[in-house]
Amino acid sequence: MNTKSFRPGTDIEIRIHDGIVGAIILLSVVLGMMVNPIWFWLAGLTAAVMFSSAFTGFCPVHYVLCKIYPITPDKDSTS
């Protein structure tokens, strides 16, 4: 099964997206444990946005990445 047709964006966009979201969750959990529990709200909000994007198809991080890195056609897809 080819999973590339099921995930939007290029491979680099998906990797950057996953890295940004993972860093936000990890940082907010560490800050929540060491600084103030209010930081857990950031992890919860990030998880809620990820969950809602599964149904709506809209993710703010992916939207910004598409604006920063415009999608260029692959060399193989032009044939």
- Report CA 70 to chain centroid distance, whole Å: 16
Average pLDDT over residues 26-51: 95
Helices (H), the chain: 11-34, 40-56, 60-68
End-to-end Cα separation, the chain, in angstroms: 22
Q: Which residue has the tokens 């060491």?
A: 34
What would the pLDDT profile of 47-79 be if each residue is shown by its tens digit?
999 899 888 888 888 888 888 877 666 555 554
| Mean pLDDT, all residues of the chain | 81
What is the pTM assigned to this prediction? 0.69
57: phi > 0 → left, psi -120 to 50 → alpha, else beta; which?
Answer: left
